[in-house]
């Protein structure tokens, strides 16, 4: 069999594995959240709170959609015209056109162009966040975080590009196989590394002070059968008023993280309710599930890129002879951007199902639907979430159930418990 035939067979196998694994691990049935309960919950929310949240989201919406459209346009221009290959060539020219320089500097140049073009819209979003009191960052702090994110992206992206093009350079016939294995391995590695090495770049984490709340959270995790290394407090207040908590890491790196804003905005019982939801993700191995799905999906994408390399019309538009050439980085960006937009609604659907299961876990673990509902009201109020967003927008973009859906689920659970 030729390498292409092996690639097609492997691609089909990975797609089947991806579908089967998703079918087995994703909770396709969600807990009940009757629409009548949703409307009742919506009616009980303060009218001014709902109007302010919808006004806030309405002001964000044009910039968000414009950013998506502009990002797609830039990716298509860089990928479907010779501009992308020209940028990579120019970036590598001072080093004699060396493929390593093209892979690293060319890749950074292509991504930087896309980031810079959409930067004004990101700045506009920040002004809205500040005006509505969600963001507490000065322009200096916002710029510092932006540069940090670019630096982290440059390091991770640079390593990925260098690894990818090293494989394509030294294994031109079988790079798809080695690249698929390497890409999947990188996804798994990042699941362990990101909480330990990257999260501290953006936040300072300190152990939660000994006291009743910390003891209750540790006991809650133990009762749930989810071992955690520590309970940490993140200094989120230096950039936002939003409240949140999460369980981060896998195995020995797992820890409960609570925003300092939550400790000032929410009651102790409400913090416990949110952490119980996050423990549900750990209990149901949602991080592991996401890691496996990500690894399979990334490996499949690498092979898909290899197969796309036979599309000469696409290559000629990009001004390159091979998808394995570093000068095709712009084309890769275009393919990834389009694929991400297409896959986005499916990913959002899966995420909402997983989040709804974690909500149910929190309700069962705490046995306190009243506090759960109160916490959802507080989350919506402080974070200025639209409690009942437009259905089409919710279906396409929302990663979590809406506020009224979560409140309705708590009421349905309470009736079932009674």
H helices of 206-285, where?
Answer: 212-223, 260-265, 268-283
Is residue 32 classed as helix, strand or coil in its secondary structure?
coil
Determine the Cα–Cα distance for residues 111 and 157; give it in Å rounded to an integer.
Answer: 9
List 224, 265, 278, 286, catalytic entry: 278
| Overall domain count for the chain | 1
Paired with 205 in beta bridges are: 234
Determine the Cα–Cα distance for residues 89 and 91; give it in Å rounded to an integer.
Answer: 5
Task: Say if residue 281 carries a ligand binding annotation.
Answer: yes
Is 133:241 a contact under the CB 8 Å cutoff?
yes
272: in domain: no
- DSSP string covering 303-350: HHHHHHTT-HHHHHHHT-S-TTSGGGHHHHHHHHHHHHHHHHHHHHHH
Is 75:332 a contact under the CB 8 Å cutoff?
no
Q: State the residue for tokens 């940490």.
A: 232
175: in domain: yes
Task: Say if residue 400 carries a ligand binding annotation.
Answer: no
State yes or no: is 51 an active-site residue.
no
122: in domain: yes
212: in domain: no
- DSSP string covering 152-188: HHHHHHHHHHHHHHHHHHH-TTTHHHHHHHHHHHHHH
Domain that holds residue 165: 3-202+285-417
What DSSP character marks residue 97?
T
Determine the Cα–Cα distance for residues 376 and 270; give it in Å rounded to an integer.
Answer: 9
State yes or no: is 230 an active-site residue.
no
What DSSP character marks residue 198?
I
55: in domain: yes
Tens digit of pLDDT at every position of the chain (418 positions) = 788 899 999 999 999 999 999 999 999 988 899 999 999 999 989 999 999 999 999 999 999 999 999 999 999 999 999 999 999 999 999 998 899 999 999 999 999 998 999 999 999 999 999 999 999 999 999 999 999 999 999 999 999 999 999 999 999 889 999 999 999 999 988 887 877 778 888 889 999 999 999 999 999 999 999 888 889 999 999 889 988 888 887 676 788 999 999 999 889 999 999 999 999 998 998 988 999 999 999 999 999 999 988 888 899 999 999 999 999 999 999 999 999 999 999 999 999 999 999 999 999 999 999 999 999 999 888 899 999 999 999 999 999 999 999 999 999 999 986 5
Determine the Cα–Cα distance for residues 297 and 207; give it in Å rounded to an integer.
Answer: 36
Paired with 248 in beta bridges are: 255
What DSSP character marks residue 251?
G
Determine the Cα–Cα distance for residues 282 and 226; give it in Å rounded to an integer.
Answer: 7
278: in domain: no
227: in domain: no
221: in domain: no
Is 220:365 a contact under the CB 8 Å cutoff?
yes
List 359, 373, 386, 388, catalytic entry: 359
Is 322:309 a contact under the CB 8 Å cutoff?
yes
Cβ of 30: how many Cβ atoms within 10 Å?
17
Is 335:308 a contact under the CB 8 Å cutoff?
yes
Task: Say if residue 355 carries a ligand binding annotation.
Answer: yes
């Amino acid at each position: 069999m030729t390498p292409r035939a092996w690639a097609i067979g492997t691609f089909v196998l990975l797609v089947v594995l991806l579908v089967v694994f998703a079918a087995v691990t994703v909770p396709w049935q969600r807990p009940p959240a009757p629409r009548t309960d949703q409307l009742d919950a919506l009616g009980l929310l303060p009218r001014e709170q709902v109007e302010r949240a919808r006004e806030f989201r309405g002001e964000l919406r044009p910039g968000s959609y414009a950013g998506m459209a502009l990002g797609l346009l830039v990716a298509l221009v860089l990928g479907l015209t010779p501009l992308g290959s020209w940028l990579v060539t120019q970036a590598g020219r001072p080093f004699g056109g060396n493929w390593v320089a093209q892979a690293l500097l060319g890749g950074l140049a292509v991504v930087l162009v896309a980031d810079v073009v959409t930067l004004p819209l990101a700045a506009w979003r920040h002004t809205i966040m500040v005006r509505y009191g969600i963001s507490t960052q000065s322009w200096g702090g916002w710029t510092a975080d932006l540069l940090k994110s670019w630096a982290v992206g440059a390091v991770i992206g640079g390593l990925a590009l260098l690894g990818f093009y090293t494989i394509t350079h030294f294994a031109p016939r079988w790079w798809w196989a080695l690249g698929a294995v390497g890409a999947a391995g990188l996804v798994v590695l990042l699941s362990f590394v990101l909480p330990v090495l990257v999260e501290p770049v953006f936040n300072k984490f300190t152990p939660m002070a000994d006291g009743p709340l910390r003891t209750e959270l540790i006991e809650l995790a133990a009762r749930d059968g989810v071992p955690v290394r520590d309970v940490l407090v993140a200094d989120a207040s230096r950039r936002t008023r939003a409240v949140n908590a999460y369980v981060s890491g896998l195995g020995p790196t797992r820890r409960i993280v609570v925003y300092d804003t939550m400790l000032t905005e929410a009651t102790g019982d409400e913090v416990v309710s949110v952490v119980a939801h996050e423990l549900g993700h750990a209990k149901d191995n949602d991080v592991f599930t996401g890691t496996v799905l990500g690894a399979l999906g990334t490996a499949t994408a690498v092979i898909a890129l290899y197969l796309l390399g036979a599309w000469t019309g696409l290559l000629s538009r990009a001004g390159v002879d091979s998808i394995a050439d570093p000068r095709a980085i712009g084309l890769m960006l275009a393919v990834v951007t389009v694929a991400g937009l297409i896959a986005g609604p499916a990913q959002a659907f899966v995420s909402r199902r997983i989040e709804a299961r974690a909500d149910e876990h929190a309700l069962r673990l705490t046995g306190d639907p009243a506090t759960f509902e109160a916490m959802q009201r507080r989350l919506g109020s402080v974070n200025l979430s639209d409690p009942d967003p437009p259905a089409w927008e919710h279906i396409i973009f929302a990663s979590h159930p809406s506020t009224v859906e979560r409140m309705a689920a708590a009421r349905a659970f309470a009736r079932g418990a009674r």
